[in-house]
Amino acid sequence: MATLREIRRRINSIKSTQQITRAMKMVAAAKLRKAQDQIFAARPYAYKIDEMIRHLIFQLEFVENPLLAIRPTQRVTLVVVTADRGLCGAFNSHIIKRTLRQIDEHRDKEVSLVCIGRKGYDFFRTRNYPVEHRYINIYNQLEYPIAQEITAYLLQKYAREETDMVEIVYNEFKNAIQQTIVVEKYLPLTADEFSGELKYVDYIFEPDKITLLDSLLPKHLNLQTWRILLESNAAEQGARMTAMESATDNAGELIQDLTLHYNKARQAAITKEISEIVGGAEALKFE
Amino acid sequence: MDENRLSVTITTPQKKWVLDDIISVTAPGVMGSFQVLSQHAPLMTQLEIGEIKVEKEGSTELYATAGGFLEVLKNNVSLLLESCEKGLEIDSARAENSAERARNRLKNRSDEIDIPRAEMALARALNRIRIANKVK
């Protein structure tokens, strides 16, 4: 049986672990707040740009844009959005598993990967998957230019016909304890995405409708990338919060068990000592 | 609402400004700078890097933008911009830094550097510096 000192040492070590997990939980909660605020802040912009594109598509008799054109799919790019860091439950491993399944689904095509977040990158790089580009350590300072950079990269690949289709695998933020994995088609776009109730407005378009649509669509993609980064970031913080909360709870349970154990052992030791003393005294009586 | 006044909304993915009681808005259009007054016809247009001037009774505000879109509809002017900074809030030191970085990148040209992108970055930074100096 473990000695008293050993048990005490274990209790102390678990207590300090618990302190760390509790702190991590609180940090994650604060970051989640910020991530949610960013999601809310992006909504008016998303609404407006969508409305403008809808007006344009609605008023164009003939929509022709390379981003809206479907071509035979030979090469697929999968964008894998994971976290930079671990300790957030199954957040990263679920994404990786889903990506592996998606790679398998595209086995008749040529698949390449773009990794956002260190965890996914580490996994696929070490297993010799065709990772052609990566964006790591981006979540600490999440600003719009990162989304623009990623979009520019994907658009360039698509324009050069180095890829025929781009899909993104990411965690969508439901609420603090729930994330859903989403596989979303990113490119090409479809005009159907921009349908909805609309009232005809006799706009003056400057320079002209086609030029406007040509420059609006990449901005729309910038925003999609941004939205996905924000969703994934919020989902990550939520997952970490939940994981750290249950870690803190588990540590609490362990401490309780060990304390009980410790008290029992201490009492047993005292009882033993007393009976030894009593026994010794009894023995002396008869001398 | 007074029909001789505009309501201006500047929307970026990270921030939103709503300005009421505006007399005019001057924006950097792709075909040159233009001004919107009240009762303007519905318009949808594209903006370049430049300054946006919002005129109020007795005061004007300047904003720096890297381009975007502008829509006019019934005395409402919506500006849809990927980046926008209020003149007074521009961090001149940061703008100087990014201008310097872009200049260096253009100086040491190599195959890896995307020259049009560096040029754009420089133009954006210079625009911000210019507007920051104007409002001081």
Here the CATH number for the domain that contains residue A263 is: 1.10.287.80
Average pLDDT in the A36-62 region? 93
Contact A223 B13 (CB under 8 A): yes
Chain A residues in contact with B73 by the CB 8 A cut-off are 201
Q: What pLDDT band is residue B105 in, cutting at 50, 70 and 90? A: confident
How many beta-carbon pairs below 8 A join chains A and B? Answer: 77
CB B13 within 8 A of CB A42: yes
Question: Is there a single domain that holds both residue A178 and residue A271?
Answer: no
Q: In this structure, are A58 and A145 located in the same domain?
A: yes
The dihedrals phi and psi of A198, each to the nearest 5 degrees, come to -155, 140
Residue B126 Cα to chain centre, angstroms? 13
Give dist(CA A170, CA A183) in Å, integer: 7
pLDDT at A99 over 70: yes
- The structure tokens 């009232």 sit at A199
- The Cα–Cα gap between A145 and B101 comes to 15
Q: Examine the pLDDT at A271 and tell me if it is beyond 60.
A: yes
Instruction: With cut-offs at 50, 70 and 90, classify the pLDDT of residue A264.
Output: very high
User: Do B91-135 and B6-87 have the same topology in CATH?
Assistant: no
What is the residue extent of each domain of chain B? Answer: 6-87, 91-135
Judge if A173 and A111 occupy the same domain. Answer: yes
Residue of A44, A202, A216 lying closest to B16 (CB–CB) = A44
Q: Which of A11-15, A181-185, A214-218, B92-96 has the lowest mean pLDDT?
A: B92-96
Higher per-residue pLDDT: B77 or A206: B77
Q: Point out the domain boundary residue: A209, A225, A242.
A: A242
Between chains, do B82 and A148 touch, taking CB under 8 Å as contact?
yes
Q: Cβ atoms within 10 A of the Cβ of A33, count? A: 12
Distance CA B79, CA B68 (A): 7
SS3 for chain B is CCCCCEEEEEECCCCEEEEEEEEEEEEEECCEEEEEECCCCCEEEEECCEEEEEEECCEEEEEEECCEEEEEECCEEEEEECCEEEHHHCCHHHHHHHHHHHHHHHHCCCCCCCHHHHHHHHHHHHHHHHHHHHHC
Per the CB < 8 A criterion, the answer to whether A213 and A53 are in contact is: yes
Q: Quick one: average pLDDT of A128-132?
A: 94
Pairwise CB contact (< 8 Å): A206 & B46: yes
* Together in a domain, A153 and A272: no
- For domain B6-87, which architecture applies? Sandwich (2.60)
B82 touches A: beta carbon within 8 Å: yes
Q: Is the pLDDT of residue A1 over 60?
A: no
For chain A, give the longest Cα–Cα distance.
119
Inform me whether the C-beta atom of residue B18 falls under 8 Å from chain A C-beta atoms: no
Is residue A14 located within the same domain as residue A115? no
Residue B103 has pLDDT above 80, yes or no: yes
CB contacts, 8 Å: B11 with chain A:
44-45, 48
Asked whether residue A157 falls in the same domain as residue A271, the answer is: no
What is the domain count for chain A?
A: 2
pLDDT, tens digit, 9 for 90 and up, residues B71-83: 999 999 999 999 9
Distance CA A177, CA A242 (A): 6
Do residue A31 and residue A44 come from a single domain?
yes
Range of the domain at A128: 27-242
**Chain B CB within 8 Å of residue A160 CB:** no
Residue-wise pLDDT for B24-61, tens only, equals 999 999 989 999 999 999 999 999 999 999 999 989 99
Domain of A128: which CATH number?
A: 3.40.1380.10
Q: Which CATH architecture has domain B91-135?
A: Up-down Bundle (1.20)
Residues of B in contact with A210 (CB under 8 A): none
Calculate the average pLDDT of chain A.
93
A249-258 contacts, C-beta under 8 A, 24 or more apart: A251/A14, A251/A15, A251/A17, A251/A18, A251/A21, A252/A18, A254/A14, A255/A11, A255/A14, A255/A15, A255/A18, A258/A7, A258/A10, A258/A11, A258/A14
Tokens of A122: 């580490």
Scanning the structure block, which residue is given the tokens 């609490």? Answer: A252
Residues 6+ away with beta carbon under 8 Å from A110: A74, A75, A76
User: What tens digit of pLDDT does each residue of B3-25 get?
Assistant: 889 999 999 999 999 999 999 99
Q: What was the pLDDT predicted at B52? A: 95
Q: Which residues pair with A32 in a beta bridge?
A: none
